[in-house]
Amino acid sequence: MVKDPVCGMEVDSDTAKFKAEKDGETFYFCSKHCYDSFTGKTEKHHAETSHGSEKCTINIDGMHCASCVSTIENALKKNKGVKNASVNLASQKALVEYNPKDVSKEELEKTIEDTGYNVVKEKSEGNVLKLKVIGMDNPHCISIVGSALDKLKGIESKELLPTEKATIEYNPNVISSNKIRETIKDAGYDNFLDTDSQDEEKKARKREIRNLKYKTTIAMVLSLPLLYFAMAPHIGLPIALFIERYMALIQFIITTPIMLVGYEFFYKGFRSVIKAKTANMDTLVAIGTGAAYVYSIYSSLVGNIEQLYFEVAGILIAFILLGRYLEAKAKGKTSEAIKKLMGLSAKTALVIRNGKEIEVSIDEVIVGDIVIVKPGQKVPVDGIITEGHSSIDESMISGESIPVEKIVSSNVIGATINKTGSFKFKATKVGSETALAQIIKMVEEAQGSKAPIQKLADIISSYFVPVVVTIGVVSSIIWYFFGGMAFALTIFVAVLIIACPCALGLATPTAIMVGTGKGAENGILFKNAESLQMANKVNTIVFDKTGTLTKGEPQVTDIISTSKYDEKELLLYAAVAEKNSEHPLGEAIVNNAKEKKLYLEDPDKFNSITGKGIEVTYKNLLIDLGNRKLMEEKKIDYRNASEDLERLETEGKTAMLIAIDNNIAGIVAVADTLKEFSKEAIKVLNDMDVESIMITGDNKRTAEAIAKQLGMKRVLSEVLPQDKANEIKKLQEEGKKVAMVGDGINDAPALTQADIGIAIGSGTDVAIESGDIVLIKEDLRDVVVAMDLSRYTMRKIKQNLFWAFFYNSLGIPLAAGALYPFTGFLLNPIIAGIAMAFSSVSVVTNSLMMKKYKAKI
């Protein structure tokens, strides 16, 4: 065991995944984080890619349409230091990349608020401790606990309630949450972490839905008599004489509370115009309903009760509120996948500190902590078992419902469920480094990103509102000369109301959110919305052979002697040559020799010849082990081995020639087992008209034999690792849209070159930088699901955009009276309001139908 130079944790040098050379010394690391810290990779990458920029996410309340999105984005981009701003209507969030030297997050939040929207500020959970204090149910007990806390340094605020709840804000640089809990316990009160608290964002969303429900109920109830008064004369319903006499006053009294309930339309709509110099959906609603309301008051005052439009203003606001309420509820369901992921993690952990078992918040677990897990509990963080054994349900990562047996040195993953035994493990990844945290981060970033197809909607929506207002004004002026003021007002209100671009703004992000969420549920992580869209265009998938199509665990199948050396001697010499090899084929030979109890010494000299083989000297013997190219380069005659060589290759085996002192001595053949479901995945891809190509360093005969087993028609053989990216480029030059499937490490250049890089994760390391899509499980059927889900999502987006554009392009001319001269048809503003309200709901509902998606395989 050696020490990680960064965190001090003990690491097994034989199994450590990360190591670095410095000043002739090898250092080993427990995690990528420590490796990056030591090598300076993180800082270098940060400097190269972002030039000192930072990213922040801001939760926003009050956005309702695509125009709101463009308003906020444009306002943010006007700040000095803002490099990019992307606002997502469905998730109600803004992702901003900025230079903190030029602008602060607080200034960005103020910019959003100045445009007329609310910022939902979330407290850092790391600085707030929420406890259930047993017995603190009266003023006296509260006084005791409060006095104890007052003696501590670092307590910034506290709220103690007689319901046994305590909320304590503290400075973690001065005092730990564990010290606070111990102080309360020393005062005589046992306490537990309150795991039922909800974050501010979630509370804000619930508040929004609750307020909308309240406002909608009031508006709908009050609009019923308005609707009756408006329709009664047309369908012969009776109206009492005294009501008819005071109709204008009664409608004014009923409509005014509805207008007050909908005050936010006017406040936000006109504030956006004044502050941000731009109009949005609220502006359209405010102008349309406000005009109807004011004109009705004017008509009442001059005694013209035949031209009252109180019902238009009141009923419009009622139906728009109803639409927003239904939309808010539906939008909440689009993010259910991320909520489920967040709900998977444990809230507390039982750790050993100073020889004692103590319960701490999961945020307080540090690398190197010894954590205790009992039957039925969730594993809090990632780590390695140091004591005990158990079976663990890892379905959260693998999708397999059968528990996995775990013993000492086995890896455990945070949020998986311990089924039977108790065990202790050493924490190796905590906080944002855990597998679950990486998954959540990737899904959040994907859901907050924009697909290229959304750019068209954004461009249109940025000009939409002013164009619609212009159409409304021009058409109403024209109709004023033909139909009078009342008719012109009807046209004006109908145009403004029906043209609200809600559906346009929701069409893409809602589908992206559900699509990426469904991907995460199936163990498929799309890095961003662009990856989700681009996968839809892929018509060719290149699979790396070793470790992707095959298990990457080859075994020696044949040893054939063509000389005086017997099979045992040939295996010994081959194993000595490969002793220090990290290649799977070399490891297979070494493992076979060890199984046969052969004693392996180090070679005297070692030389690796890339793409051909290796050359070593051992006990005065010159040993060459490799392919035909190596033998031909060394001018070694291997004709007496050719027949066996070809036969083995035809069987799909990798046959290596071994020569001793420049004379051919025999053949060592190694074969890898195809992964389960590889053949099935290739078959389904063929059915989807996606060409599958295998890329490998194997010779053509061996590669074609393996491809035939899989049902692949095309093979790229004898490709050196460094040439894989160039082969991908050649395919792209043929006009193909190429996806590359590999392990994300050895295949990184090829994954980057491909239009879509699909990296196969190991379950614990999902943040593979070179992959656009990461498969958590090593199951190639997920490649099929990723392609199919991308196609399905894009179909939904196109459906949403079609209906959004169709609705507006049809509705606006009808509202403007285009058909009136020919048919006498004129769109009633109330019908326009109902249609507008439910257009956005229909788009969100169509996206939500994606939750029923079932994979083809």
CATH architecture of structural domain 525-550+675-788 = 3-Layer(aba) Sandwich (3.40)
The string of DSSP codes covering 65-128 is SHHHHHHHHHHHHTSTTEEEEEEETTTTEEEEEE-TTT--HHHHHHHHHHTT-EEE----GGGE
Residue 144 CB partners (closer than 8 Å, separation 6+) = 187, 188, 189
Strand order from edge to edge, sheet including 423-429: 356-361, 348-353, 370-373, 423-429, 382-388, 411-412
Beta strands in 529-604 (DSSP E): 540-544, 555-561
Rg (CA), the chain: 34
Tokens of 393: 């349900």
Q: Tell me the pLDDT tens digit for each residue of 65-116.
A: 777 888 888 889 999 999 989 888 877 888 898 988 888 888 999 999 888 7
Identify the residue whose tokens are 């199919």. 788
Q: In whole angstroms, what is the distance from residue 424 CA to residue 411 CA? A: 12
Domain ranges of the chain: 1-51, 125-199+358-430, 202-333, 525-550+675-788, 555-671
Q: In angstroms, rounded to a whole number, what is the distance separating the alpha carbons of residues 271 and 266?
A: 8
The model's confidence at residue 46, banded by pLDDT at 50, 70 and 90, is very low
Topology, domain 125-199+358-430: 2.70.150
Structure tokens at 585: 């084929």
Query: Is the torsion defined by CA of 10, 16, 21, 24 positive or negative?
Result: positive
pLDDT digits (tens, 9 = 90+) for 295-351: 889 888 887 777 778 888 888 888 888 878 877 777 666 666 666 777 778 888 999
> How many Å separate Cα 61 from the centre of its chain?
21
For residue 89, the model assigns a pLDDT of 82
| pLDDT score of 839 | 80
Mean pLDDT score of the chain, rounded to an integer? 84
Alpha-carbon distance values, 620 to 594, 616, 623, 624, 661 (Å): 23, 10, 10, 13, 9
Distance CA 139, CA 207 (A): 31
To the query of whether residue 544 is one of the catalytic residues in this protein, the response is yes
CATH of 555-671, picked from 3.30.70.1400, 3.40.1110.10, 3.10.20.10, 3.90.1150.10, is 3.40.1110.10
Distances from the Cα of 820 to the Cα of 36, 807, 832, angstroms: 70, 19, 16
Reduce the DSSP state of residue 311 to 3 states and report it: helix
In which band, very low, low, confident or very high, does the pLDDT at 6 lie, cut at 50, 70 and 90?
A: low
Three-point CA angle 771, 777, 778, nearest 5°? 85
Q: Round to whole Å and give the CA distance between 515 and 793.
A: 6
* 615-627 pLDDT tens trace: 999 999 999 999 9
Centroid of chain to Cα 503:
23
Q: What is the torsional sign of CA 821, 823, 824, 829?
A: negative
Q: Would you place residue 23 in the very low, low, confident or very high pLDDT band (cuts 50, 70, 90)?
A: low
d(CA 8, CA 36): 15
Length of the chain counted residue by residue: 857
Closest CA to 168 of 155, 178, 179: 155
Report pLDDT digits (tens) over 372-421.
999 989 999 999 999 999 999 887 776 666 788 999 999 999 999 999 88
Give the pair of three-digit tokens for residue 575: 């194993």
Cβ partners under 8 Å of residue 70, min gap 6: 278, 458, 461, 462
Confidence of residue 577 (pLDDT cuts 50, 70, 90): very high
Rounded to 5 degrees, what are φ and ψ at 234? -85, -25
Helices then strands, counting H and E runs in the chain, come out as 29, 34
Residue pair 192/359 in contact (Cβ under 8 Å)? The answer is yes
544, 743, 765, 782: the active-site residue: 544
**What confidence tens digit (pLDDT) does each residue in 516-571 have?**
888 888 889 898 889 999 999 999 999 998 888 988 788 999 999 999 999 999 99
